[in-house]
């Protein structure tokens, strides 16, 4: 009986050491893709609240204003009407807005959309995959993506309407 327990404990210890070793290796010795200006924006597919799928690469040829936000985020709340007004002005000029909510319930997100009358596509990143791919640690966060799929600028924090207008103008194809 003692010998069997020793074998089980040894196996468990080896598994734990392997997991720790792998974690250390993957965090310190593997190359991470860097999200920076000039890099190609990581592709993703998300479904908006109307059930339509949006693949970032399908927007090639257009400028993309990719905004990460949350309903609880006061700066996000302030800038959403600005983004919506400028989207109305720039959508005919080849600029798209994709708003990515950071995993909140659909009901909360829909209530927010209705409250502010948002007309651009809003998708929920339920499992934080897109948020993690873009290395988001602060909201709001906006990525300006040019017609070739390259990140032109990364903005964190609140934007004024003038800033939103200038940024959309800068990614107009």
The DSSP result for the chain, as a single string, is -HHHHHHHHHHHHHHHHHHHHHHHHHHHTSPPPP--TTSBPPP-EEEBTTS-EEEGGGGTTSEEEEEEE-TT-HHHHHHHHHHHHHHHHHGGGTEEEEEEE-S--HHHHHHHHHHHT--S-EEE-TTSHHHHHTT--SSSEEEEE-TTSBEEEEEES---HHHHHHHHHHT--
| pLDDT value at residue 30 | 42
* pLDDT, tens digit, 9 for 90 and up, residues 118-134: 999 999 998 888 998 99
| Separation between Cα atoms, residue 26 and residue 18, nearest integer Å | 12
pLDDT: which is higher, 22 or 96:
96
Judged by average pLDDT, the poorest of 3-12, 21-30, 134-143 is 21-30
For range 19-24, the mean pLDDT: 63
CATH topology of domain 45-170: Glutaredoxin (3.40.30)
Q: Which pTM value belongs to this model?
A: 0.79
* pLDDT, tens digit, 9 for 90 and up, residues 1-21: 888 887 778 878 777 777 666
Judged by average pLDDT, the poorest of 31-35, 60-64, 117-121, 129-133 is 31-35
> Over the chain, what is the mean pLDDT?
89
pLDDT band, very low/low/confident/very high, at 23 (cuts 50, 70, 90): low
* pLDDT, tens digit, 9 for 90 and up, residues 100-119: 999 899 999 999 999 999 99
């Amino acid at each position: 009986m003692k010998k069997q327990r020793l074998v089980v404990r040894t196996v468990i210890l080896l598994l734990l050491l392997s997991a720790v070793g792998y974690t250390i290796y993957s965090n310190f010795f593997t190359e991470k893709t860097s999200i920076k200006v000039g890099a190609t924006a990581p592709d993703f597919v998300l479904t908006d609240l109307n059930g339509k799928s949006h693949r970032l690469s399908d927007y090639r040829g257009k400028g993309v204003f990719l905004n990460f936000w949350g309903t609880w985020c006061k700066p996000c709340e302030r800038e959403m009407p600005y983004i919506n007004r400028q989207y109305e002005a720039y959508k005919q000029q080849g600029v798209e807005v994709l708003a990515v909510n950071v995993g909140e319930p659909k009901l909360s997100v829909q209530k927010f959309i209705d409250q502010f009358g948002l007309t651009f596509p809003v998708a929920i990143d339920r499992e934080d995959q897109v948020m993690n791919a873009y290395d988001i640690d602060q909201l709001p966060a906006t990525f300006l993506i040019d017609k070739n799929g390259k990140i032109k600028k990364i903005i964190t924090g609140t934007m004024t309407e003038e800033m939103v207008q200038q940024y959309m103008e800068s990614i107009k194809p």
